[in-house]
């Protein structure tokens, strides 16, 4: 899994379409191997991003959970703590 793709389900406030599209873009970049496609591949790349975003939005809208919603601040703090363990604390 691409490290830049984040969990989008069960957040308060809910994820935005912009966040879903950003994750879709990262996914398509990873799968295609292109950061910026050539002119000839631009349409296919853009279409793939839109289709992945639509599928992701549909998925997120249909999922259910009884778990408490996450907050972005809590998730950022967890990621920071994990990185400090992995890479060491910055001085």
Q: How remote is the C-alpha of 17 from its chain's centroid?
A: 11
Question: Of 15, 51, 59, nearest to 32 (Cα)?
Answer: 51
13-17, 37-41, 87-91: the lowest-pLDDT one: 87-91
pLDDT of the residue at 4: 65
Which two structure tokens, joined as six digits, stand for 36? 């910026």
pLDDT of the residue at 83: 87
Cα–Cα distance for residue pair 73/90, rounded to 1 Å: 20
- Per-residue model confidence as pLDDT tens digits over 43-58: 999 999 999 999 999 9
Mean pLDDT on 7-36 = 93
């Amino acid at each position: 899994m691409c490290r830049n793709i984040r969990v989008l389900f069960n957040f308060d406030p809910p994820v935005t379409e912009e966040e879903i599209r950003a994750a879709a873009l990262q996914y398509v970049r990873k799968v295609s191997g292109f950061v910026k496609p050539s002119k000839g591949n631009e349409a296919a790349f853009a279409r793939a991003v839109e289709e992945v975003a639509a599928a992701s939005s549909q998925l997120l809208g249909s999922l259910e959970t009884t778990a408490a919603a996450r907050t972005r601040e809590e998730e950022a703090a967890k990621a920071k703590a994990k990185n400090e363990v992995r890479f060491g604390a910055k001085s």
